[in-house]
Chains A and B, each alone.
Chain A
Amino acid sequence: MAVVGVLALQGSYNEHMAALRRIGVRGVEVRKPEQLQGLDSLIIPGGESTTMAKLANYHNLFPALREFVGAGKPVWGTCAGLIFLANKAVGQKSGGQELIGGLDCTVHRNFFGSQLQSFETELSVPMLAEKEGGNNTCRGVFIRAPAILDVGSDVEVLADCPVPADRPSITISSGEGVEEEVYSKDTVIVAVKQGNILATAFHPELTSDSRWHRFFLDMDKESHTKAFSALSLSSSSRDVQDGSKNRMANNCGHYYRHLKM
């Protein structure tokens, strides 16, 4: 079975570990570069991005993380994790922080404003429902959340969110701060996938909805299509474990897909 690493420097890593446990997958806490060895995929959780970057620097984790992403192994960043994975981050107060990169997009670090503007909302996620079952929406918890301003051509947009009316207007300084444009669209991107990189601006790990974790693990499987027989075994055993949660009824498409594999 796939071994999923969870970067455990600071933040909501325990919540990710618990979400993995709920769907019967073993998670491994990662705090040092050598602990990335032997992992099939990695989750970078939410937390204080400044703090996480400092801690990653103490242990010289950035080169190892870049190598991991570069090797094409599945990586999922939530909130602060999304910022780490972005090729470009704007909206930083001063100095800036080191990024891992790999995801062709521009992230605004504090798009939704301050602490007090944190919110929860229902997001429309037809793609997630199609792949993992359940209804067409999921609960998005946005905690001092970033948002994705624009994406490259290889990036698939999985979800966007209406821009809240009470959000303070932000100015995006593009380039070297010479020309400035104001973000004026009604919606903003909050979940994307590019190859084996998944990124969400919100926190699925803070909800009891496990579909994003399943979706991420299925990415892992798709990237291992060669180890074909072992995979269909593990995925079917997983579905049996989850059977009690009345997923089966509304979820035939998902189950069937595994059978076809």
Chain B
Amino acid sequence: MASDGTGVVTVYGSGTNNGAALLEPSAHKSATFSVKVGLAQMLRGGVIMDVVTPEQARIAEEAGACAVMALERVPADIRAQGGVARMSDPGLIRDIKRAVTIPVMAKARIGHFVEAQILEAIGVDYVDESEVLTLADDAHHINKHNFRVPFVCGCRDLGEALRRIREGAAMIRTKGEAGTGNVVEAVRHVRSVMGDVRALRNMDDDEVFSYAKRIAAPYDLVMQTKQLGRLPVVQFAAGGVATPADAALMMQLGCDGVFVGSGIFKSGDPARRARAIVQAVTHYSDPKILAEVSSGLGEAMVGINLSDPKIHVERFAARSE
């Protein structure tokens, strides 16, 4: 699915064809939307790992992560401990930033643009406006065009993805269900986006107006998605990826890369598992290598069965639209 020739974002151009809506031609310009999208494109085919200490960040970098997400608590702990989850201590994020050369991301609460301003001020490379943290604004997301730093946002379907992109997100990830070690929700979300894009590609141009209204997404971005045959920004998988096979599954379903949250540092042998997941993402369509890297990894994180009637699991994914 991923290799049928549609797996490419080209939002730049010499004023010719695609991406004209997002193009801002000029002389020397930084922090344009297209530069932000380009930044995210350099992460393609990579793994982004949640880390809570500089030591973990170094393990992740050593294993071949293309970026790290600096946090105080991984989603599994946020889930277990409850309470209000907020932006991490900027001091901790700075320490992690100093420890590695790869890009560092950090999470801000949805709608909390001041947390995002703080993260931008300390020089994080990407801000994740994340449903894993408690909502700060239950009606509005951050206007991400106001920032120089690129943003990544979660989505469950095409409409949600395009709404975030219109708000200025330069990178999209599936919401999945963070901190569960259960990939089912991430699969549902990526299937939903990919399926919607496939349906859109075959749609008559005249039908796109009403389709855009139905999925509550801006018409120009819906049309651009139809022409590109994919989202106009990089799309990663997130929320429940715990094994190399999970990661390769997300890649084969058509994602551009993978976030692994609690899956690595809640497992028996983090360094080994981290390296195995990185290799699984590079060689996602080579079952022999997948078999090799999946062997002898020790214990995976325990995980939560989301359809178990005896337990109530809060769905982080349903926190925002």
**A-side interface residues toward B, CB under 8 Å?**
8-15, 17-18, 21, 31, 46-48, 50-51, 54-55, 58, 79-80, 92-94, 114-122, 134, 138-139, 141, 143-144, 162, 164, 166, 203, 206-209
Contacts and interface: CB of A to CB of B under 8 A. Distances in A.
A139 B38 contact: no
B31 A116 contact: yes
B16 interface: yes
A206 B45 contact: no
B279 A58 contact: yes
A116 B148 contact: yes
A121 B42 contact: no
A47 B42 CA distance: 4
A8 B9 CA distance: 16
A141 B9 CA distance: 14
Nearest to A134: B14
Given A9-B282, A47-B66, A119 B29 contact: yes
Q: How large is the interface on B (under 10, 10 to 19, 20 to 34, 35 or more residues)?
A: 35 or more
Interface string B141-171: 0000000111000000000000000000000
B1 to A, nearest CB: 13
Contacts of A93: 101
Interface stretch (B57-65, B71-79, B260-268): B57-65
Contacts of A15: 8-10, 41
Contacts of A164: 28, 30
Contacts of B44: 10-14, 47
A163 to B, nearest CB: 10
Given A17-B8, A50-B102, A116-B31, A31 B46 contact: no
A18 B10 CA distance: 9
A48 B46 contact: yes
B283 interface: yes
A206 B38 contact: yes
Contacts of B13: 139, 207-209
Contact of B29 (A116, A120, A138): A120
17 contacts: A12-B42, A13-B44, A47-B43, A48-B42, A48-B67, A55-B279, A93-B101, A115-B39, A121-B29, A122-B27, A138-B14, A143-B42, A162-B28, A164-B28, A206-B10, A206-B41, A208-B14
B41 A51 contact: no
B39 A120 contact: no
A43 B46 CA distance: 18
Given A11-B44, A120-B29, A115 B14 contact: no
Contact of B62 (A12, A31, A48, A54): A54
